[in-house]
Structures are given as C-alpha cells and as structure tokens.
Amino acid sequence: MVLSAIKTAVEELVAERGSERVTIPMVAERAGVNPTSVYRRWGDASTMINDIATYRLDPGRPLPKGDDLRTLLTEWADEIIRHYSDPVHAAILRGGAASAGQSQSDCLRNRRAEAGMLVQQAAPVPGITVERVIDHIVAPIVYRVIFIPDSLDETLAPRLVAELFD
Amino acid sequence: MVLSAIKTAVEELVAERGSERVTIPMVAERAGVNPTSVYRRWGDASTMINDIATYRLDPGRPLPKGDDLRTLLTEWADEIIRHYSDPVHAAILRGGAASAGQSQSDCLRNRRAEAGMLVQQAAPVPGITVERVIDHIVAPIVYRVIFIPDSLDETLAPRLVAELFD
DNA sequence: GGGTTAATGCAAACATTGTTGCGTTAGACT
DNA sequence: AGTCTAACGCAACAATGTTTGCATTAACCC
C-alpha cells in the first residue's frame, strides 16, 4: 500500500535527518512512489510530517483501567515514555513541535484528553487536577524526549508521579 | 550590520511561517543580503535557525541575586515566561525543538545551567534539586510555550514554584 | 601606507524541488 | 461485463534553492 510505505519512509527519514531536512522527493524515492502522489496528498513536507505525526501518536490504544489514580497515572506515563524512547517517535514528536502553534496542529492534544479521562474515571484525589498532570507528568516527559532524550528511563514515571502526589 | 539584519529576518519569518517553511533565499532577501553570504555562514536553513535560536535565547543577562531559593526561582521563571510570551521567541523555540536531538543542538542547555547556578548559589532547600527544577518549572513552561502558548500568564511562575516547594 | 585575511556581493552554472496535463490502473457499484 | 471515480505514474516544464569562481570591500596588523 502506498500510504503505509510513505509513512514508514517519513519516519525513517525524520529520524535520520531531522524533520526540517526531509523533502518530498526524498520520501517518495524511499517509499518507491511517485513524488506527484505525495504532493497531491499533502502539498508540502511540513503538513505531511505533521499529519503522520498525529496519526502515529494516536493509535486507538486502550487506556489503563482501575480506580487508583496513582497506579493509573504511573502506567500511563510509563507507556508514553516507552513509546518515545524509540528515536523514531522522538524525532516525529520534534517535528510536531515545530509545526505546533501553526494553524491547528497539535499532535499532543489527545494525550491531554487521555489525562482528563484518567483523572475523571479514577477515585478523585484532592489537589490532583488535569492541569497538574499536564504540568508535572506530561510536560517533563515531553521536554526530555525533545531536548534530552538520553534521560528517559524506567524510573522516570514512578518518580514524576511520586513528586506529584507527595 | 549583516548578522543582525539576518537575525531579525529569521525571527520574523519563523514567526510568520513556522521554522519548517523558512528558506535561505527568503531570509537573504528580507535582510537585504546576498543568499551566498548566508549559505557560507551556515550551510542550510535548519542549522541557521538553530544557531539563531540559541543566540537569542542566551543573552548574557544577569541572573536574579539573593539567598532565598523560592524567590530566586520565581523571578527567574517569570522572566523566562515573559520572554517566551513574545510569539517571535516562541516560534524560534519551536524551531530549536525541531533540530534538538540532532548533533549537539540544544538551545535550552544554558537555561539548565542557569538552574544549576541558582540552586547552588542559594541557601539549600531539602528536596529541591536541579533535576526537579527542570522537570517541574522549566519543562511545564517550555511545554506550554510550544504546544499551548495561550496558557502563559503571570500566575504561572508562582504557581509552579509553589507546587514544587509544597 | 602596504599587506594580509575574512566577509560580502555578483553572476552564472547547477541541482533540486514543485506543478501540470494526461493516460492508466484499480476498486466499487449497478 | 460496463461504468464511474479516485488514486497513481509519467514526462515535460517551471520555479526555487544551492554551489562556485571571481571581484570588491573592510578590518586588522605590522
């Protein structure tokens, strides 16, 4: 299928060269596809990358279930960290960051929606709001993914959650 | 001066079009400079943008002085927030994010150094480390600047500091 | 001043990227 | 099967971006 070949090519190239250095002819060649097809679908490289970024980041995956917010958040954060530990996904997120603020391209909005669902679904904990989850769980993870990717490890999720709760 | 004209042109264009859609000929034209000069200095657009991002973000400005870490951090955070409330600076930061992870281009490393200096210089507070300042002050600010710029206001700095200390 | 070096402008070749019209294929529906 | 539509490939073309060699300027250092 054409689209999945393109998707793979984009991911590889963004990881190899950074989102700013990926061009449509490059993607087309690697995907074994005619550049025209890519141009017609997206118009230019940055909308293509952003589209694929949000596509990839929002699989309809199930959220952790349960009552204990602390456990829920730890599992959820850990899954996000594992996801972005893949350099390909990290690179795609950087591409998403570049086009954020532009038009309506925010590849993380679904993560924020997830945070809201978790906080609502669990037994309420005084002082734990969606905003604080964003600021103290999501933001540190995303910051590290983008700027200091080597600092991601399996201790991060429990630590951030602990720092939020205690 | 050539360099400052280029710097201004890059900032304007990145804010107008997003970092991914800024080309060297565009910058050269707006700066009233020959494209050749830009090519020779930086080679390509993304290293140029990243270079200017770090340049702009690291003026040799003085850090807040004092003994009380809480006050220091609040002032420091507030200054960062005010800086990035300018859409031009926010756009440039997004450009820096795009090329982070690539080689050694991390336009925020000096902010982290500053955090270290503040924590060291002030009277020590148990449990407040550089890492926690990064995770719970810098990261939320940067996250908001990049993805939800409208959410920056003058209440953010004190709130983040309070959440870190209490 | 004379000499050296680095930065810049200019113009021309060159390479890459983006666009368009048209023909072909593939799938869906009747 | 026949028809319709959307997606794709192809090739020619147009526009843009990049490199190069050379001349000019400006700053710096004897």
* pLDDT 10s digits, A1-23: 789 999 999 999 999 999 999 99
- Residue A80: closest CA among A154, A131, A165, A159: A154
Residue B56 has pLDDT above 80, yes or no: no
Amino acid at B79: E
Instruction: Please report, rounded to whole angstroms, the spatial distance between the CA atom of protein residue A28 and the C1' atom of nucleotide D4.
Output: 29
Which chain B residue lies closest to A92 (C-alpha atoms)? Answer: B98
Nearest CA distance, A63 vs chain B (angstrom):
23
Q: Indicate yes or no: strand D within 7 A of the C-beta of B33.
A: no
Q: What is the mean pLDDT of residues B71-90?
A: 95
| Per-residue pLDDT reduced to its tens digit, A142-152 | 999 999 999 99
Q: Tell me if A22 sits within 8 A of A10, measured CB to CB.
A: yes
Cβ–Cβ gap A98/B102 under 8 Å: no
Instruction: Please report, rounded to whole angstroms, the spatial distance between the CA atom of protein residue A127 and the C1' atom of nucleotide C2.
Output: 77
**Which structural domains are found in chain A, ordered by start?**
2-56 (1.10.10.60), 62-165 (no CATH)
Query: Which is more confidently placed, A107 or B22?
Result: B22
Share of chain A above pLDDT 70, in %: 95
Q: Tell me if B57 sits within 8 A of B92, measured CB to CB.
A: yes
What's chain B's Rg over C-alpha atoms? 17
Residue A65 has pLDDT above 80, yes or no: yes
**Comparing A12-21, A60-69, B129-138, B147-156, which segment has the lowest mean pLDDT?**
A60-69
| Per-residue pLDDT reduced to its tens digit, B81-105 | 999 999 999 999 999 999 998 767 7
Query: Which is more confidently placed, B1 or B23?
Result: B23
CA distances from A79 to A42, A60, A117, A134, B60 (A): 30, 14, 16, 15, 39
Mean pLDDT of chain B: 92
Residue B119: which pLDDT band, with cuts at 50, 70 and 90? very high
**Quick one: pLDDT at residue B133?**
98
Residues of chain B with C-beta less than 8 angstroms from the C-beta of A142: 139, 143, 147
**Quick one: pLDDT at residue A57?**
57
Residue A130 has pLDDT above 90, yes or no: yes
